[in-house]
Amino acid sequence: MVMRWFLLFTPLAFSLKAFSVDPSIVFLASTMAIIPLAKLMEEATSVLAKSMGPTYGGLLNATMGNAPELIIGLFALQNGLIDMLKASIAGSIIGTLLFGVGATMIAGGLKQRVATFDNSLIAMNLALLSVTAFGLLVPAVFNFSTVIDQEISVHISILMLFIYLASIVYTLQDKSLPLTTGSVEQALNQQHKHPIEPMEAPPHWSNRTALILLMGVTVAISFMSDLLTSSIQPAADAMHLTPSFAGVFLLSMVGNIPQYINSVSFASKQQLTLALSVNLSSTTQLALLVAPVLVLMGQAMGLDMNLRFNQFELMGILLAVLISRHLLGDQRSTWLEGFMLIMVYFMLGIGFYYLP
């Protein structure tokens, strides 16, 4: 309920923009407005998914999971913020694997000194992220010209979409890798042999109400995304931040905050498998679905949007994938491991801040 009050930032952000208030304040207000809108989108999607059954409902959840990031990315493209957009994609991967997973581990470790989780729900996402890191490495290695960069990125984006579709088909066929949170909860109950604290139930909306709300929230997020992306560059300039830092550590956080809140909440209720799945599946969808779609949309708009990240962004992605995969490989976690992940995130932040 507290997050509902954040909806007041929606009219406030437009008012600040109309009165030509400092872009930094407009950016902050629009960021605070998108957070509850993203949460409402998630709740409306959950209501619709529940009535569609585990298979199609899970597919809807998987598809809509990163809708706010996709909408923000499209408006960033429209406003010509290509470098910042690529930085935000890298930042979402880095932030979720280091900050999001780290905060989840800390929340789980405060309840249990050594928390355990089911690797069957985590391993596939880690494998997909490893393949994604390799796919993002190719454009940087075969960097011959701008035209070739674009062609390589388009071809790799198509292959990434095939990988994503294959993972969806595999997940739908394998009942031990459910897509819906309800199915995950049932799996956890079966695997751990003891009851877990029930998750917060979705709102008691009708399908029609949820559908109307979903459409309305999508439109609202679109307007707020336009406001956000049009103000972030002036705000970054006013704060003397590079586009890379603004993308990796500001823009990337906007659509991920509700996800981090959910994962920490699940981990604090000793639902660590579900909490980690929330973070890892979101990152997988971003890398294999949202990023390729943005590249193809950029191609259709005649923009030079590609998957060639700079060496610092690419190094951050590779480090985040390697470190998180190493720490999650033993199916155990402690709050100290989570703390270390967050410290690595801040270390990267210091490096990006001092980039010329």
The CA distance from 213 to 271, in Å, is 29
pLDDT for res 259: 81
pLDDT for res 90: 94
For the record, the structure tokens of 169 come out as: 């088909």
Cβ of 43: how many Cβ atoms within 10 Å? 18
Mean pLDDT (10-residue bins), the chain, 356 residues:
77 90 90 86 80 66 76 90 92 94 92 80 86 90 76 94 89 60 38 42 78 89 89 88 89 82 85 85 90 94 90 93 90 91 95 89
Count structural domains, the chain.
1
Cβ of 198: how many Cβ atoms within 10 Å? 9
Cβ of 165: how many Cβ atoms within 10 Å? 12
> What's this model's pTM, rounded to 2 decimal places?
0.84
pLDDT for res 175: 58
b/e burial code for range 290-307 (CB count within 10 A of at least 16 → b): bbbbbbbbbbeeebebbb
End-to-end CA distance of the chain: 42
User: In terms of residue numbers, what domain contains 11?
Assistant: 2-353
- Domain CATH number, residue 127: 1.20.1420.30
